[in-house]
Amino acid sequence: MEVVIVKDKAAQGELVAAAVARLVGEKPDALLGVATGSTPLPVYEALAALVAGGLDVSRLRVCQLDEYVGLPAGHPESYREVVRKEVVQRLGLPAGSFLGPDGGAGDIVAACAAYERVLAEAGGVDLQILGVGTDGHIGFNEPCSSLASRTRIKTLTEQTRVDNARFFGDDLSQVPQHVITQGIGTILEARHLVLLATGEGKAEAVAATVEGPLSALVPASALQLHPHATVVVDEAAASRLKLASYFKATYAHKPAWQGL
Ligand SMILES: N[C@@H]1[C@@H](O)[C@H](O)[C@@H](COP(=O)(O)O)O[C@@H]1O
């Protein structure tokens, strides 16, 4: 696992956007997995700036990581709408370039299986952007999710619902109890995983992800199993890493041709 410690959100956004631009240069119809939440927004902003500067993303495809169950179609906080607004519209991608699970389906089990098929038929995810929950979740794989799990319905922890209530007018009762999420096994099939975290509030989750034991209790620690996982964090989120100096020295001496 590579850990890159950057000075702030803007630097984080530019670094990851550059990695996406490089991918698109090599594979114009790449499938980019996008996370929601506030952490990845600087990446989408930096990517939009590259597009405004001439980066051709006309064939880029994007896919969702997870979705709330039961929000009415078009609800502004459904992840489909969030990705449409923050990524698809911002980058000017065609609507058809966008894949996601159906959180409003009558048969959720079938919707989860269908999304697994859609991802496989699309050729798999090339680069998956991930945030991390304060409890170490990735996607909506809450603690003690199977490390081999596939896309399925999950029940949110109280902590995650409290964390996400800010998107629902701070009204906890509006935050759904259930979600669909790519499983940890599904996420691990992406060719490159890029996990982002900023701020002191994520420091513990980052330390457990990077330096803790591989454990279902910390779903993000599953990145330790992946052959190409990159963790990009600011100083505050890196503040509990024992090996922070080593990670900084390694990155400082990294050959430029390697990219992320
Ligand atoms: N399902 C999403 C995750 O994909 C995201 O990583 C997490 C952290 O969000 P934030 O980046 O806003 O802290 O929030 C939600 O739970």
Q: How far is the CA of 133 from the centre of ligand 1 (A)?
A: 5
Span 197-206, pLDDT tens digits: 999 999 999 9
What tens digit of pLDDT does each residue of 106-140 get?
A: 999 999 999 999 999 999 999 999 999 999 999 99
Question: Within its chain, how far is the Cα of 188 from the centroid?
Answer: 12
20-35 pLDDT, tens digit each: 999 999 999 999 999 9
Tell me if 141 CB under 6 Å of ligand 1. no
Q: Where are the beta strands (DSSP E) in the chain?
A: 2-6, 31-34, 61-64, 66-68, 98-99, 127-130, 152-155, 178-181, 192-197, 229-234
Distance of CA 241 to the CA centre of its chain: 21
Active site residue 29: no
Greatest CA separation for the chain: 53
Q: What are the tokens at 55?
A: 């980066």
Closest residue CA from atom 9 of ligand 1: 37
Domains of the chain: 2-189+209-258 (3.40.50.1360)
Please give the distance, rounded to the nearest whole angstrom, from the Cα atom of residue 136 to the centre of ligand 1: 10
Of 9, 228, 219, nearest in space to 127 by CA: 228
Among this protein's residues, is 102 annotated catalytic? no
pTM over 0.95: yes
CA distance 48 to 215: 36
Backbone angles phi, psi at 228, to 5 degrees: -140, 80
Burial annotation 186-223 (CB, 10 A radius, 16+ → b, else e): bbbbbbbbbbbbbbeebbbbbbbbbbbeeebebbbbbb
Separation between Cα atoms, residue 129 and residue 243, nearest integer Å = 23
Burial of 172 (0-12, 13-18, 19+ CB in 10 A): exposed
Which amino acid makes up residue 162? V
| Catalytic residue of the set 126, 142, 163, 234 | 142
Whether 135 is catalytic is yes
Q: Is the CB of 39 under 6 A from ligand 1?
A: yes
Return the structure tokens found at 62.
């994007």
Whether residue 95 has pLDDT greater than 90: no
| Protein residue with least CA distance to atom 4, ligand 1 | 139
- Examine the pLDDT at 76 and tell me if it is beyond 90: yes
- Cα 78 to ligand 1 centre (Å): 13
For all residues of the chain together, what is the average pLDDT?
97
Instruction: Choose one of 36, 134, 141, 160 to mutate for the ligand 1 pocket test, by most ligand atoms within 8 angstroms of C-beta.
Output: 36
First-to-last CA distance in the chain?
A: 11
Q: Of 71, 132, 142, 179, which is best to mutate to test ligand 1, by the most ligand atoms within 8 angstroms of its C-beta?
A: 132
Question: Alpha carbon of 112 to those of 102, 106, 154, 191: distances in Å?
Answer: 8, 11, 11, 21
